[in-house]
Amino acid sequence: MEKRPFINKDQLEAVCAEYPTPFHLYDEAEIRRRARALNAAFSWNPGFKEYFAVKATPNPWIVSILAEEGCGCDCATGVELTLAEACGVTGENIMLSSNDTPDEDYRHAAELGAIINLDSLDMVDCLVRALDGKLPKMVCCRVNPGGTFSSANGIIGNPQDAKFGMTVPQLMEAFSRLAELGVEDFGIHAFLASNTQENDYYPRLSRQLFELAVRAHEELGVHVGLIDLSGGIGVDYRPEDAAADIAAIGEGVREAYEQVLVPAGMGDVRICSELGRWMLAPAGGLVTRVIHEKLTYKDYLGVDACAANLMRPAIYDAYHHITVMGKEDEPAERAYNVVGRLCENNDQFAHDRMLPLTTIGDLLFIHDAGAHGFSMGYNYNGALRSAELLWREDGSVQQIRRAETSADYFATFDADPRFSSLAKK
């Protein structure tokens, strides 16, 4: 399947005339479309809620758009809780799903009325300590069944290698102890695979969690009112990849719900998801310009972006499709390595990538960077993080985060007057 940007060359050059490259550009229409498709796929469950994984794209403009579409926030830290609150997302529209959680984050979540998701058995005592024994009526726990996780096409995840979640016996013990402490409603959460391309991942996971919920209800007498399927639904990074069918996924979960929970008298269970990548990755791209070309043992295109703007290729060797703007219909007949300026050899967006003949000055659109793109940025070599722009539904462009300046980089050197002046540069 062909991949094309949501913006054409002339439009993008007009944007660049006002906002210099590199920058991240998000498509508001696609964000809303994906949120609506997800909600429609799970409309059979009256309590369904998408808790957008804030870590994927922690921008209040993005979070606010999703909140308008009925989405909540999945937060991992106190800072993300603060961002959610600033966007008007409060109460049980927030889920705190964290690990190695400090007491102050538990207190912050409780003050907001958020659902707290415990990652390990010892966190029961941590929660009691942090909240002085005044536990909320509803608590969620994250389970890791271990082993491997398979789809119809084979193994797609290795939960036993993950640091997240508690074992099934630990989950049962946590529920028992929490019930003794006055908790009345329970949730079960699990994340067993990442970026899955299979439509049966959620249905298989949900069946496993539904069966566990029935077991907890029957053995412990507790009420499980929430099943959190977390994230894991992937996107089609490569043109040949098949996109996940969210409608088919929702229907698969419904079938498991009807077969497992309803016969057990648990037809009131709410389903939720925590999708970050699926919600935002295809709705954003990194825009960068070719500023150098070097011919040595390979043909290197040097661009004004680097791994500080999008580090997934550097740390995962992840594939991100690249469009040379204005040359979408030209044959891809030359192999290039597309690289940034950092003093690390892994600062490369593509290796031996076949592209049309590309020259200095060409604009590149790096696809599917709307999630885990800007958010994973860093300042190695003093690289400054780029601006974030929103391509509005009416065709206008709005800057939703300005680019960093050297003053931002030096702002924390304020303990000594010899260095505090750097923050003014």
In angstroms, what CA-CA distances link 90 with 62, 81, 109, 113?
16, 9, 9, 7
Domain boundaries along the sequence of the chain: 28-278, 282-410
Q: Check if the beta carbon of residue 213 is closer than 8 Å to that of residue 266.
A: yes
* Rounded-to-integer distance, Cα 110 and Cα 131, Å: 8
* Rounded-to-integer distance, Cα 83 and Cα 81, Å: 5
Q: Give the pLDDT of residue 198.
A: 86
Q: Give the pLDDT of residue 424.
A: 61
Secondary structure string (H, E, C) spanning 237-305: CCCCCCCCCHHHHHHHHHHHHHHHCHHHCCCCCEEEECCCHHHHHHHEEEEEEEEEEEECCCEEEEECC
Q: Give the pLDDT of residue 399.
A: 98
Q: Give the pLDDT of residue 192.
A: 84
Catalytic residues: 343
* Rounded-to-integer distance, Cα 364 and Cα 285, Å: 10
Q: Give the pLDDT of residue 194.
A: 84
CATH 3.20.20.10 fits 28-278, yes or no: yes
pLDDT in tens, the chain (425 residues): 689 999 999 999 999 999 999 999 999 999 999 999 999 999 999 999 999 999 999 999 999 999 999 999 999 999 999 999 999 999 999 999 988 999 999 999 999 999 999 999 999 999 999 999 999 999 999 999 887 766 666 655 677 777 889 999 999 999 999 999 999 999 999 988 888 888 999 999 999 999 999 999 999 999 999 999 999 999 999 999 999 999 999 999 999 999 999 999 999 999 999 999 999 999 999 999 999 999 999 999 999 999 999 999 999 999 999 999 999 999 999 999 999 999 999 999 999 999 999 999 999 999 999 999 999 999 999 999 999 999 999 999 999 999 999 999 988 887 666 666 655 65
Fold match, 28-278 / 282-410: no
Q: Check if the beta carbon of residue 83 is closer than 8 Å to that of residue 54.
A: yes
Q: Check if the beta carbon of residue 69 is closer than 8 Å to that of residue 36.
A: yes
The superfamily (CATH) of domain 282-410 is Lyase, Ornithine Decarboxylase; Chain A, domain 1 (2.40.37.10)
How big is the chain by its Cα radius of gyration, in Å? 23
If you write DSSP's letter for every residue of 125-194 in order, what string do you get? HHHHHHTTT---SEEEEEB---S-EEETTEEEE-GGG-S-SB-HHHHHHHHHHHHHTT--EEEEE----S
* Rounded-to-integer distance, Cα 134 and Cα 142, Å: 21
Q: Give the pLDDT of residue 356.
A: 98
How far apart, in Å, do the first and last CA atoms of the chain sit?
47
* Rounded-to-integer distance, Cα 379 and Cα 366, Å: 20
Structure tokens at 3: 């991949």
